[in-house]
């Protein structure tokens, strides 16, 4: 039994169905497969929409890239994000163009590097949070222009409360490379992510039930093993308290032609209520559309009835997570896997890589009659 049909559940199902003789039931509480990666063509414009916000496939691992490309066709796509700050448009991630734009200079790479060193706060030896990481490496001008306001809106707290690792997701470059990601392989599936998930679970031994909400109180004794990809605190009926998540809401808009000329424009000030605008036809520039659809994206604290998106992982949350993990460790015939069940900020390629790896670990444990690990990861 697999609970959830996002990438974790679908990759596991694919691996177990093709590499063992089991039969698999997948349950998903929503009316579609794919979890938050779900894509669907907008009926009005025909544009492929990432229903739960933009998803760009990136990886450095050739085996993961080959794996997804063996299932569906991908086309090249480089994510180029722009940032609106104080009414002006800048290049992101911070690169030589951004530095020259913000400081109205024409630095060479070496000059920009030396300049940024003078801006960075050298007294911070070991940055302990998001803000310290930013002040140490890019200085307060760049930090307040691009990161402080956006981060406050995105996470609903002061950046001093957030881990430095969130900022480390975004590169800083001393050349004009404005690719938002650092990975070797990058692209977008031609027919969207749901087609890819569908391909993964398209097997006579896999049965999918939609609109089927799982409750841990249910009798699951008929199953040899349960793979759970929902929130870990929900499995335990929140007995230690709720883990913190941010959720996202969207305001959908239509226009003729091209609204903003790029897939993603970030609004970095605190005053603009949304974090970014994504215009989805720019993800598939091989398609032609005369009209356009775009989404203003708002971030807020996830309430019990909301869809959880970003795990906050504040100190309090990490304490709760330890308690839930300890409670899960003694369970039999169950695996907690994926973003929600392990409570981590994961990209698609992390999720796929971990599910592929875990399927091998699981099948090996089964063959030697060992208990498979309850989690694919050790606590971090």
Q: Which is nearer to ligand UDP, 1 or 83 (CB)?
A: 83
Q: Which residue has the tokens 């480089």?
A: 78
Q: Is 345 a catalytic residue?
A: yes
The one catalytic residue among 41, 75, 105, 169: 169
Q: Which is nearer to ligand UDP, 20 or 260 (CB)?
A: 260
Q: Which residues contact 87 (CB under 8 A, 6 or more apart)?
A: none
Site for ligand UDP, rule CB under 6 A: 83, 92, 146-147, 150-151, 154, 166-167, 169-170, 266, 268
> Cβ of residue 350: shortest distance to ligand UDP, in angstroms?
12
Element (H, E) at 165: helix 165-168
> Cβ of residue 129: shortest distance to ligand UDP, in angstroms?
12
346 is written with which tokens?
A: 């994961």
Q: Which is nearer to ligand UDP, 266 or 292 (CB)?
A: 266
CA angle, 299 then 300 then 303, to 5°: 140
> Cβ of residue 255: shortest distance to ligand UDP, in angstroms?
23
Is 245 in contact with 310 (CB distance < 8 Å)?
Answer: yes
Q: Which is nearer to ligand UDP, 14 or 82 (CB)?
A: 82
Q: Is 136 a catalytic residue?
A: no
Q: Which is nearer to ligand UDP, 124 or 170 (CB)?
A: 170
Q: Is 233 a catalytic residue?
A: no
Write out the E strands in the chain: 2-3, 24-27, 39-41, 48-50, 57-59, 74-76, 81-85, 88-91, 185-189, 206-209, 226-228, 245-256, 264-267, 276-279, 291-301, 310-311, 334-336
Q: Which is nearer to ligand UDP, 151 or 284 (CB)?
A: 151
Q: Does the CA dihedral 192-341-211-10 come out positive or negative?
A: positive
> Cβ of residue 268: shortest distance to ligand UDP, in angstroms?
5
Q: Which is nearer to ligand UDP, 162 or 234 (CB)?
A: 162
Q: Is 173 a catalytic residue?
A: yes
The one catalytic residue among 136, 246, 313, 339: 246
Angle between helices 130-137 and 148-155 (to 10 degrees): 160
How are beta strands 185-189 and 74-76 bridged, if at all?
antiparallel
> Cβ of residue 344: shortest distance to ligand UDP, in angstroms?
12
Q: Which is nearer to ligand UDP, 317 or 324 (CB)?
A: 317
The one catalytic residue among 144, 240, 310, 345: 345
> Cβ of residue 245: shortest distance to ligand UDP, in angstroms?
13
Dist CA 194 CA 200 (whole Å): 10
Element (H, E) at 331: none
> Cβ of residue 159: shortest distance to ligand UDP, in angstroms?
7
Dist CA 57 CA 200 (whole Å): 16
Q: Is 246 a catalytic residue?
A: yes
The one catalytic residue among 136, 173, 313, 325: 173
> Cβ of residue 354: shortest distance to ligand UDP, in angstroms?
17
Is 324 in contact with 233 (CB distance < 8 Å)?
Answer: yes
How many CB atoms lie under 10 A from the CB of residue 242? 15
The one catalytic residue among 28, 132, 317, 347: 347
Is 371 in contact with 332 (CB distance < 8 Å)?
Answer: yes
Dist CA 376 CA 380 (whole Å): 12
Dist CA 151 CA 172 (whole Å): 17
Residues classed as catalytic: 169, 173, 246, 276, 297, 345, 347
């Amino acid at each position: 039994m697999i609970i959830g049909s996002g990438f974790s559940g679908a990759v596991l199902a694919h691996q177990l169905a093709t590499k063992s003789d089991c039969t698999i039931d997948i349950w998903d509480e929503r009316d579609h497969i794919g979890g938050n990666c779900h894509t669907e063509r907008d009926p009005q414009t025909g544009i492929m929409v990432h229903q739960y916000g933009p998803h760009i496939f990136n990886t450095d691992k050739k085996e993961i890239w080959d794996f997804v490309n063996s299932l569906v066709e991908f086309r090249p796509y480089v994510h180029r994000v722009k940032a609106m700050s104080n009414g002006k448009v800048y290049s992101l991630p911070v690169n030589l163009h951004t530095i020259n734009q913000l400081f109205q200079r024409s630095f060479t790479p070496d000059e920009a590097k030396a300049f940024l060193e003078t801006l960075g706060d050298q007294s911070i030896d070991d940055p302990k949070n998001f803000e310290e990481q930013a002040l140490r490496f890019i200085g307060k001008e760049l930090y307040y222009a691009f990161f402080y306001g956006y981060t406050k809106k995105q996470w609903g707290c002061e950046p001093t409360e957030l881990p430095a690792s969130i900022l480390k997701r975004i590169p800083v470059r001393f050349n004009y490379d404005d690719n938002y990601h650092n990975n070797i392989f990058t692209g977008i599936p031609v027919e969207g992510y749901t087609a890819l998930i569908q391909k993964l679970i398209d097997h006579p031994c896999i049965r999918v039930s939609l609109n089927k909400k799982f409750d841990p109180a249910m009798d699951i004794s008929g199953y040899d093993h349960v793979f759970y990809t929902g929130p870990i605190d929900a499995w335990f009926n929140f007995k230690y308290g709720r883990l913190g998540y941010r959720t996202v809401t969207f305001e959908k808009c239509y226009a003729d032609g091209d609204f903003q000329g790029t897939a993603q424009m970030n609004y970095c000030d605190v005053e603009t209520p949304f974090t970014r605008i994504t215009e989805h036809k720019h993800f598939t520039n091989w398609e032609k559309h005369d009209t356009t659809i775009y989404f203003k994206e708002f971030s807020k604290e996830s309430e019990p009835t909301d869809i959880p998106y970003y795990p906050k992982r504040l100190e309090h949350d990490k304490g709760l997570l330890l308690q839930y993990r300890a409670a899960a460790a003694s369970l039999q015939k169950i695996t907690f896997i994926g973003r929600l069940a392990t409570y981590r900020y994961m990209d698609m390629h992390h999720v796929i890589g971990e599910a592929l790896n875990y399927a091998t670990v699981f099948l090996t444990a089964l063959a030697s009659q060992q208990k498979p690990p309850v989690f694919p990861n050790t606590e971090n």
